[in-house]
Amino acid sequence: QVQLVESGGGLVQPGGSLGLSCVASMSILNFSAMGWFRQAPGKQRELVAVITSSDRDSVKGRFTISRDNAKNTVYLQMHSLKPEDTAVYYCHAMGRTVVNGRLPTYWGQGTQVTVSS
């Protein structure tokens, strides 16, 4: 019964910044990795950033993914946003324990990010 809940999406102007949060219903140490994906209308879902058990930030271009294990939360800080960043952003987690013959993965419900002037 793992739940991932994203928040922080909204409307921003090009060049602006936005921070997303993903709160898990259990310790995120239960996950081997967590990440952010995004999907725009008519496009395939794509990986934005991934982070492992370490709490060290991972910078990928204009985006930074980080985690706070004590808060069961993963963050995505986005800067210099462009219209092409517009998409639904999803939190993702990979489990550590095999269940029913497979390694489970979990998805949040998504949060909309719209970059437009």
Residues whose CB is less than 8 angstroms from the CB of residue 63 and which lie 6 or more positions away in sequence, other chains included = 48, 49, 76, 77, 78, 79
Phi/psi at 69 (5° precision): -60, -35
* pLDDT single digits (tens) 8-60: 999 999 999 999 999 999 999 999 999 999 999 999 999 999 999 876 788 88
Helix (H, G, I), strand (E, B) or coil at 58: strand
Other beta carbons within 10 Å of 76: 26
Q: Give dist(CA 67, CA 74) in Å, integer.
A: 4
Using pLDDT thresholds of 50, 70 and 90, give the confidence band for residue 2: very high
Q: What is the pLDDT of residue 55?
A: 67
- Average pLDDT value for residue range 70-86: 97
Residue type, 80: S
Q: What is the CA radius of gyration of the chain?
A: 14
Residue 115 has pLDDT above 70, yes or no: yes
Other beta carbons within 10 Å of 45: 15
Residues whose CB is less than 8 angstroms from the CB of residue 46 and which lie 6 or more positions away in sequence, other chains included = 37, 38, 39
